[in-house]
Amino acid sequence: MENGSPVLCPNTVTVRRNPHRRARATPAAKTAESNPPSAISSFPLQEILAMEVPQNPKDNSSSSVQTPLSENLKVYLRVRPLQLKNLKKSGNPGDQNSRLGHVWPQNPQKKKVAKEKIVKKKSTEACITINDDHSVTVCPPMALQETRRSKSEVYEGFSHVFSTESSQGEVYERMVSPLVEDFLKGKSGMLTALGPSGSGKTHTIFGSPRVPGMVPLALQHIFRTESNDSRPSRSYYLSIFEIYSEKGKGEKMYDLSADGGELTMQQFTIKGLKEVLISNAGEAESLVACAIAKRATAITNANSTSSRSQCIINVRRVANPDEVDDASNCAILTIADLAGAEKEKRTGNQGTRLLEANFINNTSMVFGLCLRSLFEHQRNPKKPLQKHFQNSLLTKYLRGYLEGKKRMTLILTVKAGEEDYLDTTFLLRQASPYMKIKFNNVVEPSNTNKRQLPTLCTFEEQKRTKYSVPEPCVNEGKGHHEEGVLSHEEPSGHTECPATKSSRTELAGTERNHLIMQNFAKAIWQVLKQYRDKLKSAENENQTLQEEIRKEKMRYFELEKQWQSSRCSTCSMEDCAKADSSVVTSFELQRDLDEYRFNDVHEINLNSFIKVKESEGYESPERRGFSPCEDINSCSKLVEVKEARINKVDETTPRNESDTAKKLMYVEADDRSLTTNPIAFGTLQSHNLVKHDSCSSVELDKLSEQDEESTSVESPLQVASFIHCNAHACETQPLDSSLSQSTSEESDRDSGALHEDQELMAERLDSRHIPPTKDVESCQEHNIDVHCSDPSTDTSCKREKPKRRLLPASSTLLRDFSNMHVEDDIEASKQVNRNGKKSAKGEKIRTQGNISLIRMLKSNLRF
């Protein structure tokens, strides 16, 4: 615009007033996010089934065939040019429209007065700048910036902002044409102009013959469309009235049609309003022109012919009952030009200021308050919808729109002058939330057919009655051009055919079922969500617990390890210091066994096995480059070789020797159960290792080559060694009682088997007539003493050991050994300390040291 592009005030701060700040999340919502759900609410089955669906046939009939729409209230903004005279000079045909220039009939008495009183000096500065199609910036005049510290404000969110250069046609096409199209399709709608006095409401709504406004353009649109229709089957009725408010006299309503009089409102219904049947645009425009001429005007500060009333025009479309093949039935198009709010000059210290009370008394203000209340109610349903519409006849009449039940379009008109800053900002602030208003329950007829038409028509008429749209009483005899007299009574009841009633009943049932299923699905969904959340929290808990258990296991393992090592060191100090490697191996094995038990690590046993192998002189798998599996295989091979050896012995030895070998094989054969019973494996491995140890001095290949006699000679020593080692294995009982018991049982069993072996061996020796010697027995006793050196060992050690006789060669050596009277000084000193006195003379204390000597002797015997 040449003068519609106001210059921005310098050094201003832009404050965006739209959109409103978002509401913070409620504490409840935050809590729900952060805290896991405590309990799953019960399924509201009873509530769902007990749900009541409105059985109003009106609602049912409409909802089943119509789609509920949800759309925002459309708010347009139009900025009036600054200087109308300049526009006239510039030859803008669309804007030669001061009220005086109106070609439409004017109130003749006021016309002269208005001419004389237009003496106003307008500023050329603008306070409003159009940013884009949807926002404007309002800048306060310099005077206000200094005194009130006012700042520029941005208002946005408009459906469209019409600049000062926008023509009536442009406004119509963008804003009203869609409304009319909907109206022609059967959708009701309303256009309302709101703004300060002189801002162009009347100009926009009615315009002039040269620049027709929205009403004439809409009428032209309607009848143009109708004339293009090959089967014009609809009738249009027009009614126009005003609500005039005199100071101190309250509101009055006048019918602006010819011969129209004062109207009354009873229970939201206007009584006596005439509705004129119109058949073309010309007729309609004439009626409107006449109505405007009757409209009350007055001179105000802003407008010489200011509209002092709210003017409402209704165009009702009624389908011909015989031609009801579309949905364009019973729709009403309402266009309202509201009286402008004005500021008044008040003298005194306060100077000129906005008198809010004056605005509130104004019908336009009440209208605005109703919209505000609707917005707040929609934002927070707990906030009741204020019944502001009861404060004014206009808002009473438009109650359906102000409750959000019917679709409405709003156009705000403002003036761009600096002197209009307060009016402009006041209106824009008030209207900011309007564009957030939603029409959720707008129900429009659609997809109608001949059967449904009576229902829809009845529904629409009932709605119309409810919202005070008058019922026409057209005098058919007077023709289309004559006015009909609107009925003062409520619609006289529409009789419905039985088919319609049954159809409504069916629809009501279907609707109820549909709603029940919908709520049922929602409830199920909620419960499922709660279960899902619960499951998630349980899984998290489970993971945490598992982690704790794992940590506890690790800690237990560490403690166990420490305990074992401390115990081992104690044993080493007391008894194990001089024990051979098999004893140490036994400790390690026991420890590994415990580790296995608590950690389920099977490899530990395997490692123990490998360690023992190393202690026996075998190469470790790593050194040999074998895998543990290979080592196990080699062990199996060893067992097989030994079995072969035993078989060989069995062939060459008498029956009792074969039995002995079988007993030995018993231990070896258990090796094969390694993979099936880890604990038993540990125990048996101990035995096996002992036996291996006892055989360690004998190479397997040599074993196979040794003659029968040498085998028989070695056997008792092996047995003795086995017993000895087994006794030490018994010393290292695990903490676990079951394991200990298992080990003890195995020990007992092996010990018993070995005793039998010893007996068998002794018998075999007897059968060879080799007399036992005292030394041999003495040696055996030494062995037994060793087993029982620790009173805390397994009770199997206390068993009475069978006497046996050894071979002559070993007997001789052992006799020599016994004559040596080897004493363990350390043990002796310990005994002294323990008993407080030295042992009696001749009482020899023999300990593990003796066993080492025996082993030495044993090895000497072999070579």
199 is in an annotated binding site: yes
Token pair 């400790």 in the structure block, residue? 587
Determine the Cα–Cα distance for residues 558 and 289; give it in Å rounded to an integer: 103
Integer Cα distance of 691 and 719 in angstroms: 8
CB of 164 to ligand ATP, least distance (A): 7
Supply the minimum distance, in Å, between the C-beta of residue 431 and ligand ATP.
15
- C-alpha–C-alpha distance, residues 571 and 691, integer Å: 22
What is the rounded distance in angstroms from the CA atom of residue 291 to the CA atom of residue 304?
19
What is the rounded distance in angstroms from the CA atom of residue 821 to the CA atom of residue 843? 10
Please report, for residues 435, 452, 785, 787, the alpha-carbon distance to residue 800 in angstroms, rounded to integers and kept in the order given: 107, 112, 11, 12
Min separation Cβ 284 and ligand ATP, Å: 20
Task: Provide the angle, in degrees to the nearest 10, between the axes of the packed helices 678-695 and 655-669.
Answer: 130
Smallest gap, in angstroms, from Cβ of residue 297 to ligand ATP?
7
Nearest approach, Cβ of 296 to ligand ATP (angstroms)?
10
Rank residues 310 and 743 by Cβ distance to ligand ATP and give the closer one. 310
Cis peptide before 628 (omega within 30 of 0): no
Supply the minimum distance, in Å, between the C-beta of residue 342 and ligand ATP: 7
- The answer to the question of whether 347 is labelled as a binding residue is no
Residue 118 CB, shortest distance to ligand ATP, in Å, is: 9
Closer residue to ligand ATP in complex, CB, 86/519: 86
Alpha-carbon distances of 315 from 115, 239, 258, 259, 627, rounded to whole Å: 33, 7, 16, 19, 99
| Cβ closest to ligand ATP, residue 392 vs residue 715 | 392
> How far is it, in rounded angstroms, from Cα 678 to Cα 593?
9
Beta strands 135-138 and 128-132, pairing class: antiparallel
Check whether 581 is labelled as a binding-site residue: no
The residue written with tokens 């060893």 in the block is 638
Position of tokens 């009982």? 733
DSSP label of 101:
G
Burial class (CB within 10 angstroms; exposed 0-12, middle 13-18, buried 19+) of 658: middle
Ligand-binding site membership of 771 (annotated): no
User: Smallest distance from the beta carbon of 102 to ligand ATP, in angstroms?
Assistant: 7
Q: Which residues bind ligand ATP (CB under 6 A)?
A: 80-81, 84, 87, 95, 97-99, 195, 197-203, 300, 303, 306-307, 339-340, 413
Nearer Cβ to ligand ATP (313/649): 313
Interhelix angle 848-862/708-731, nearest 10 degrees: 160
Q: Give φ, ψ of 121 to 5 degrees.
A: -105, 115
Q: Report the alpha-carbon distance of residue 275 to residue 268 in Å, rounded.
A: 18
Whether 449 contacts 65, CB under 8 Å? no
**Least distance between ligand ATP and beta carbon 95 (Å):** 3
- The dihedral over CA atoms of 722, 724, 727, 728, expressed in degrees to the nearest 10, equals -110
Cα–Cα distance, 475 to 479 (Å, whole number): 7
In the complex with ligand ATP, the residue whose CB is nearer, 97 or 269, is 97
- Output the six-digit token pair for 54: 């409105």
Residue 195 annotated as binding? yes
Bridge partners (DSSP) listed for residue 74: 409
Minimum CB separation from ligand ATP for residue 201, in Å? 4
Question: What are the backbone angles phi and psi of residue 267, rounded to the nearest 5°?
Answer: 50, 55
- Find the shortest distance in angstroms from Cβ 308 to ligand ATP: 8
- 552-to-58, 220, 539, 540, 599 alpha-carbon distances in Å: 72, 89, 20, 18, 11
Reduced to 3 states (helix: H, G, I; strand: E, B; else coil), residue 19 is coil
Nearer of residues 95 and 560 to ligand ATP, judged by Cβ: 95
201 is in an annotated binding site: yes
- CA dist 415 and 399 (Å) reads 29
Residue among 99 and 274 whose Cβ is closer to ligand ATP: 99
First to last CA, the chain: 126
Task: Give the residue closest to ligand ATP by C-beta.
Answer: 340
373: which residues sit within 8 A by CB, 6+ positions away?
Answer: 385, 386, 388
- The pair of structure tokens assigned to 469 is 């749209």
For ligand ATP, give the closer residue by CB, 201 or 436: 201
- CA distances (Å), 191 to each of 286, 413, 421, 667, 740, in order? 21, 13, 25, 105, 97
Beta strand extents in 498-620 (DSSP E only): none
Smallest separation, CB 323 to ligand ATP (Å) = 39
Q: Find out whether 240 and 312 touch, Cβ atoms under 8 Å.
A: yes
Least Cβ distance, residue 55 to ligand ATP (angstroms):
46
CB of 163 to ligand ATP, least distance (A): 10
Q: Which of 316, 333, 171, 349 is nearest to 237 (CA)?
A: 316
Dist CA 308 CA 295 (whole Å): 8
The answer to whether residues 49 and 528 touch, using CB atoms and an 8 Å cutoff, is no
In terms of CB distance, is 87 or 639 closer to ligand ATP?
87
Q: Report the residue number, 94 or 186, with the smaller CB distance to ligand ATP.
A: 94
For residues 340 and 621, which CB has a smaller minimum distance to ligand ATP in the complex?
340
What tokens does 508 get?
């009501």
**Looking at beta carbons only, is 300 or 448 nearer to ligand ATP?**
300
Least distance (Å) between residue 177 CB and ligand ATP? 18
Nearer to ligand ATP, 296 or 727 (CB): 296
Phi/psi class of residue 723: alpha, beta or left (left: φ > 0; alpha: ψ in -120 to 50)?
Answer: alpha
Nearer to ligand ATP, 214 or 315 (CB): 214
**Strands 408-415, 74-80: parallel, antiparallel or unpaired by DSSP?**
parallel
> In terms of CB distance, is 113 or 641 closer to ligand ATP?
113
Annotated binding site for ATP: 195-202
Question: Per the annotation, where are the binding residues?
Answer: 195-202
